[in-house]
Amino acid sequence: MAITLNSGFKMPVIGLGVWRMEGKDIKNLIFNAIKIGYRHFDCAADYKNEEEVGEALAEVFQAGLVKREDLFITTKLWNSDHGHVVEACKDSLKKLHLGYLDLYLVHFPVATRHTGVGTTASAFGEDGVLDIDTTVSLETTWHAMEDLISMGLVRSIGISNYDIFLTRDCLAYAKVKPAVNQIEAHPYFQRDSLVKFCQKHGVCVTAHTPLGGATANTELFGSVSCLDDPVLKGLAKKYHKTVALIVLRWGIQRNTVIIPKSSKVERLEENFLVFDFELTEEDMDLIKTIDRNYRTNQPAKFWGVDVYA
């Protein structure tokens, strides 16, 4: 099952995010995911595992499990490389052992002091706060992203963690419209206005953290997971599914792409069972009632500045 992007290319509605996945585990994870049926992998320079992902992909292709054109590979431009878009993209391609990317995203709508192409360090000022670069505009960054398409390095370009107003601005100055806005979205942080705005203007929404972060974000940010919500537990019992599957199915029925992460094969298999049932309209409406406007991914904890403010 796939969504056709405004660039004309098809994007599988479920992918595997590789954030916080250790190098030694990535090979087996990607092999197993492909055998299960995954064809969409979500990477980023900042995840610091592109080389390991690339080695795994090279082995997958060599083994004949799939061909390059069978997969949809996303990676992202880090904050410190906004003024070095072409070099950063080429660096990611080299690490991933790929000739082109299916999708390249601006990871966050903030440029920070350059620390070297592909290093993905977060530079801090003397005050201990993220050192934001005021000489590179998001518009400048976007036009450099557009150049990647004409250079044949990427097929589609997009944005990530952009709110309605930043998305509107991007649509206004873009020669090539963003194909995707990847945002945090789950039942506790539904962001209905942003989702509908993007979809109205032909921008596909990809939901990162589609399960509300669960263990990973609880460890990093001390956040609460929606997977313990009694409403969702009741629906899981009703449909004879896990709570995670209810949440993922909800995401798909909103016409968003979902990229859950898991390092466990049994979870990969379970998450891929999202296509054999459908939530009723009444139950979709019920899930609307548990929205808390609750963001679980909070980089301000590390950066000393709230880039979402």
Active site residues: 47
Q: Which is it for the CA torsion 217, 223, 228, 231, positive or negative? A: negative
d(CA 97, CA 90) in angstroms, rounded, equals: 10
Which amino acid is it at 284? M
Tokens representing 2?
């796939």
Helix (H) or strand (E) holding 239: helix 230-239
Would you call 188 helix, strand, or coil by DSSP?
A: coil
d(CA 292, CA 149) in angstroms, rounded, equals: 38
Q: Is 107 annotated as a binding residue?
A: yes
Per 3-state DSSP, the chain is made up of helix, strand and coil in percentages (nearest 5) of 45, 15, 40
In a 10 Å sphere around its CB, with 0-12 CB exposed, 13-18 middle and 19+ buried, how is residue 40 labelled? buried
Do 296 and 221 touch, CB atoms closer than 8 A? Answer: yes
Do 88 and 77 touch, CB atoms closer than 8 A? Answer: yes
d(CA 249, CA 246) in angstroms, rounded, equals: 5
Q: Which residues contact 221 (CB under 8 A, 6 or more apart)?
A: 213, 296, 297, 298, 301
Binding site residue list for substrate:
107
Binding residues: 107
